[in-house]
Amino acid sequence: MEAIAVDPSLMGSAGDKQLAGRQAALLFVLSGLITIASTWLPGHELLNTRVMYDVGAAAVAVGAVSWALPWTRWSARATLLLLPLSFGLVAIGGRFGNVTPAVFSIYFVVVFTWVGLAHPPLTSLFLLPVASASYVVPLALTPGHPPGAIAAVVQVMAVGVLVAETISRTLLKLQRALGELERTRAESQHRADLLAVVAQAAGTVGRLQRESVLAAVVDSVGHLGLEVAALSFFDDDGHTQQWAYTRGLSEDLAHYALPASAGLTGLTRERDATMVIDDYAEHRLARRALVAAGVRSAIATPVRVNDRCPAVLLAGSHSPRHF
pLDDT tens by residue, the chain, 323 residues: 333 344 444 445 666 788 888 888 888 888 888 878 877 777 655 667 787 788 888 888 988 998 988 888 888 788 888 888 888 887 787 677 666 666 667 777 888 888 888 888 888 888 888 888 877 777 777 666 666 666 777 888 888 889 889 988 998 888 888 888 888 888 888 888 877 776 766 665 555 567 777 777 787 777 777 888 888 899 887 788 988 888 888 877 777 788 988 899 999 999 989 999 988 888 888 888 888 888 899 999 998 888 888 899 999 988 887 77
The answer to whether 240 and 284 are in contact (CB under 8 A) is no
The answer to whether 224 and 321 are in contact (CB under 8 A) is no
Q: What is the pTM of this model?
A: 0.51
Helix, strand, coil: what percent of the chain each, to 5?
A: 65, 10, 25
What pLDDT was estimated at residue 45? 58
What pLDDT was estimated at residue 6? 40
Cβ neighbour number for residue 195 with a 10 Å cutoff? 10
What pLDDT was estimated at residue 300? 92
Give all strands of the β-sheet with 297-305 in edge-to-edge order.
257-259, 240-247, 228-234, 308-317, 297-305, 275-277
Q: How far is CA 273 from CA 45, 62, 234, 254, 292, in A?
A: 87, 66, 16, 23, 26
What pLDDT was estimated at residue 238? 74
The answer to whether 2 and 173 are in contact (CB under 8 A) is no
Nearest to 221 by CA among 282, 147, 299: 299
The answer to whether 207 and 184 are in contact (CB under 8 A) is no
DSSP for 176-215, please give it. Answer: HHHHHHHHHHHHHHHHHHHHHHHHHHHHHHHHS-HHHHHH
The answer to whether 134 and 104 are in contact (CB under 8 A) is no
In angstroms and rounded to an integer, the radius of gyration of the C-alpha atoms of the chain is: 34
What does DSSP assign to residue 146?
A: P
